[in-house]
Amino acid sequence: MPKTLTTDRLILRGVTAADAPAYQKYFNDYEVIRQLGHHVPWPYPENGAADFIQNVILPEQDNDKWVWAIFLKTYPTEAIGAVDLWRKGSPENRGFWLGRPFWGQGLMTEAVTIVMDYAFDELGFETLIFSNAKGNIGSRRVKEKTGAKLIDVQPGKMVDPIYTEVEIWELHKYEWQAYRQNS
Ligand SMILES: CC(C)(COP(=O)(O)OP(=O)(O)OC[C@H]1O[C@@H](n2cnc3c(N)ncnc32)[C@H](O)[C@@H]1OP(=O)(O)O)[C@@H](O)C(=O)NCCC(=O)NCCS
């Protein structure tokens, strides 16, 4: 299991099969799914989260791939989103989503901050690459707010066909350390 990480407001712990109902509840939302890569099915199947956790997340968990469920400290029994990190970039090394009721409170910025500390300080990453659909302002802002640099725009296909390009971002360990010292 990935190491459990905590922040002021959040607990991030490795996804388990028990998180499937909450994962399904918040992930099965077009406003969440439409921003993601086109391989995510829409309409989202009834057993989509349980299948994904069982067949995709758990077999790779902690094996150069780390998938944390996000919990509010004030309600630590229900996952409200997830952050994942993987060693072999595609080209990106990180993904995230948060249930819509929780958007706009700085929660994902808080979650990725502790995940990046862990990635650079404990997992040995020297560089992280991120990506988002060009036009996904929330995801873009999370990167801007955490010191990443936009390095490219490429053609891309998301669930919502309105998106046709992806922005690629880069963050080096030394930049993150400088950013953390000044923040
Ligand atoms: C992207 C996502 C994780 C952001 O989570 P969050 O907890 O709301 O993020 P934060 O609050 O830390 O930061 C979001 C920032 O984007 C801004 N933002 C969000 N939507 C915006 C919009 N339409 N226009 C302008 N700014 C917007 C917020 O104001 C905030 O910036 P600020 O702190 O400068 O005000 C969440 O919206 C989500 O899960 N979206 C669907 C899935 C997704 O897009 N995943 C990423 C795929 S690359």
pLDDT at 142 over 90: yes
Could you report the per-residue pLDDT of 7-53, keeping only the tens digit for each?
999 999 999 999 999 999 999 999 999 999 999 999 999 999 999 99
- What span, in angstroms and rounded, lies between the C-alpha atoms of 166 and 115? 22
The CA 33 to ligand 1 mean position distance, Å, reads 14
CA 138–ligand 1 middle distance (angstroms) = 3
- Which pTM does this prediction carry? 0.98
Q: Is 41 left (phi over 0), alpha (psi -120 to 50) or beta?
A: beta
Predicted pLDDT at 91: 96
> For residue 158, what are the β-bridge partners?
37
Residue identified by tokens 């958007």 is 103
What separation in Å is there between the alpha carbon of 30 and the centre of ligand 1?
A: 15
Name residues contacting ligand 1 (CB within 6 A). 32, 35-36, 96-98, 103-109, 132, 136-139, 141-142
Residue 90's pLDDT band, with cuts at 50, 70 and 90, is very high
Domains of the chain (ranges; CATH) run 5-182 (3.40.630.30)
Confidence band, pLDDT 50/70/90 cuts, at residue 55: very high
pLDDT, the chain, mean: 97
pLDDT score of 183: 83
Report the alpha-carbon distance of residue 36 to residue 161 in Å, rounded: 11
**141 contacts 159 by C-beta, under 8 angstroms:** no
How many other CB atoms sit within 10 Å of the CB of residue 151? 12
